[in-house]
Structure formats: C-alpha cells, structure tokens
C-alpha cells in the first residue's frame, strides 16, 4: 500500500509542477490554488509512504516519477523537443525507479 501512496505522491508532484507553471509567479489565483493543494497532497502522501519505505528509495522514486511525468507533459503539452536522447534519458530514469522499487525496500518482492 505504501508504494501506491508513493505513486500517488508522484502523480500529484506532476500536477503541482504544471500548476506552478500556469500560476505565472503566483499571479493567477486558480493555478496557484491548485499548486498549493496538489503540493500539500503530494508531500502528505510522501510523508505517509516514508513510514514504511526507506527514505532514500522513497524520495528518489517520488522525484523520479515527477521528473519523468513532467518531461512527458512538457513534450506532449508544452511543445518541448522530442528527441531520441530525451527519450533514452527518460527510460533510464524509469529503469532507476523500477530498480529502487524492486531493490530499495531490501525485499525483492516489495
């Protein structure tokens, strides 16, 4: 269950990062409010996951989900360049996330 909560934290990290971009320096009220709510949910879920998942693994997976998610959103939604090197780097991050999930708890079965 902690890993599902951590995944949820990572998804909300993507949401708050997009909202932060749309907030235009916190000058837009709705994106700013969405940022605050999503960031709070993300950090709360991360905090809950840290009760059972080792800190190094949880934090790395959380930031990895955010990094991969934002890179994909940037390419799909914000017309950022889609290059083979970017895709390869995203794949490497995903491999790292999976590796930390499998090995990070000390129990290969999670």
pLDDT of residue 103: 77
Does 94 reside within a domain? yes
pLDDT of residue 102: 82
Total domains, the chain: 1
Does 19 reside within a domain? yes
Q: Which domain holds residue 64?
A: 2-103
pTM: 0.87
Does 110 reside within a domain? no
Does 52 reside within a domain? yes
Over the stretch 16-35, which tens digit does the pLDDT of each residue have? 999 999 999 999 999 999 99
Site of tokens 């749309």: 22
Over the stretch 33-75, which tens digit does the pLDDT of each residue have? 999 999 999 999 999 999 999 898 899 999 999 999 999 999 9
pLDDT of residue 101: 80
Does 109 reside within a domain? no
81: pLDDT strictly greater than 50: yes
pLDDT of residue 109: 47
pLDDT of residue 88: 97
pLDDT of residue 99: 86
């Amino acid at each position: 269950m902690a890993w599902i909560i951590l995944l949820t934290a990572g998804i909300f990290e993507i949401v708050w990062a997009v909202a932060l971009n749309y907030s235009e320096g916190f000058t837009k009220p709705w994106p700013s409010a969405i940022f605050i709510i999503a960031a709070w949910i993300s950090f709360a879920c991360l905090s809950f996951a840290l009760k059972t998942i080792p800190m190094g693994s949880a934090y790395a997976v959380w930031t990895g989900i955010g990094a991969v998610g934002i890179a994909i959103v940037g390419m799909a939604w914000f017309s950022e360049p889609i290059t083979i090197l970017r895709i390869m780097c995203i794949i490497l991050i995903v491999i790292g996330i999976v590796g930390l999930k499998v090995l990070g708890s000390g129990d290969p079965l999670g």
